[in-house]
Amino acid sequence: MLSTCLATALLMTTGIHSAGMLPVNDTATAKPKYVMVIHGGAGTILKSQMTPEKEQAYKTALEQALRSGYTILQKGGSSLDAVEAAIRVMEDSPLFNAGKGAVFTHEGKNEMDAAIMNGKTLAAGSVAGVTVIRNPITAARAVMEKSQHVMLTGPGAEKFAKEAGLEIVDPSYFYTEERWKALQKVKAVDENKTQLDHDADTTHKTSRLGIENKDNKFGTVGAVALDRQGNLAAATSTGGMTNKKYGRVGDAPIIGAGTYANNATCAISCTGWGEFFIRLCVAKTVSDLMEYRNETVQQAANELIMNKVPALGGDGGLIAIDKNGNIAMPFNTAGMYRGSVTEDGKIEVLIYK
């Protein structure tokens, strides 16, 4: 699972523009320098199915996450501190499938995954299948900074987090009525069906790899940032799939698949059908295309999300910021909760295409 993701030899298609990407001005004088981008999951997010109150709740939560990270960056703090702070805000909100809002497994538990990476040193840490750590992203950072390892899982990760002084909570802390009802609804239809988040599409969807996903829902949260010292960082956190079994782990905690940062190129956090992001090593491949093919962050991100992932039958999106403060936020679903902030503090939050 943790083997090195090799660069993929891809023929790039230039000039592609995703509906999910903020425009990047090519003129040096007008180009905004972004310092942070976040996402709260992608999927069939339709305005017609969103109440004004819920839409505003999402926007408020995303703005709060952006402000928490921007405050750190504005004061000269590190990109690592910024992405962790932004993720913690979303982990503490029941709106997102991470931390407090994590979905339930087949056994009726909340199993969470998270990862963080330092673009300056390529140091990284992640946890998977944790059930009692209030903020999995903080545990991932502890693995990176206080252990000799990159990934810890299950009870071992929880024991490590407790010894590191992190906040441990009773599993009941993660219970939310909405997520519990979602589990019961899925199991009532099919005991073996798994479901991601943020989607109202109930049609059958089968990938070229023979995997069927009936609901196509993605509810990961992520953040990428560039600090004043020129250092990049990426972080991702998720509750995974509703009704998942057997300790399933997606792409979020796998360095190079769902999370990656390198000062030479960019920082990336993905959200989507994790099995496909793992197979394509999406995050690392975006970086490799920039490093070895001299592609822009926009071109590289689009190639993976708009071409390679859907070619296999997968869906989702990603956020990325390069070493110069250019961003990309492509997605191939109906919507993606996302937001950005520039160095002057201008915040933009988007949901739909």
In a domain, 4, yes or no: no
Adjacency order of strands within the sheet including 266-272: 259-261, 266-272, 316-322, 327-328
pLDDT score recorded for residue 192: 56
Of 220, 236, 259, 296, the catalytic one is 220
C-alpha distances out from residue 276 to 215, 287, 313, Å: 16, 17, 8
* Helix axes 52-74 and 79-91, enclosed angle (nearest 10): 160
Range of the domain at 97: 35-352
In a domain, 62, yes or no: yes
In a domain, 1, yes or no: no
For 146, the enclosing helix (H) or strand (E) is: helix 136-146
Strands 124-130 and 151-153: parallel
In a domain, 17, yes or no: no
Model confidence at 274: pLDDT above 70: yes
Count of domains in the chain?
Answer: 1
The mean pLDDT of 188-207, rounded to a whole number, is: 50
Alpha helices in 133-242 (DSSP H): 136-146, 154-163, 177-189
- Find tokens 């703005």 and name the residue: 63
Q: Residue 36's Cα: distance from chain center in Å?
A: 13
Question: Longest Cα pair distance anywhere in the chain, in angstroms?
Answer: 57
Token pair for 326: 């250019």
CATH of the domain at 246: 3.60.20.30
Tell which wins on pLDDT, 234 or 213: 234
Minimal CA–CA distance to 235: which of 342, 80, 97? 80
> Which DSSP string corresponds to 303-350?
IIIIIIHHHHT--EEEEEEETTS-EE--BSSSEEEEEEEETT--EEEE
In a domain, 344, yes or no: yes
User: What are phi and psi for residue 69, nearest 5 degrees?
Assistant: -75, -40
In a domain, 39, yes or no: yes
Alpha carbons 196 and 309: distance in angstroms, whole number:
17
- 220 part of the active site: yes
pLDDT tens digit string along 85-142? 999 999 999 999 999 999 999 999 999 999 999 999 999 999 999 999 999 999 999 9
Alpha carbons 139 and 160: distance in angstroms, whole number:
8
Work out the mean pLDDT of the chain and round it to a whole number: 87
C-alpha R_g of the chain: 18
In a domain, 280, yes or no: yes
pLDDT score recorded for residue 353: 87
In a domain, 12, yes or no: no
pLDDT tens digit string along 55-67? 999 999 999 999 9
Alpha carbons 5 and 13: distance in angstroms, whole number:
22
pTM (2 decimals)?
Answer: 0.87
pLDDT tens digit string along 312-333? 999 999 999 999 999 999 999 9
- At 169, the amino acid letter reads V
CA 338, 82, 94: angle at the middle one, nearest 5?
50
pLDDT score recorded for residue 193: 54
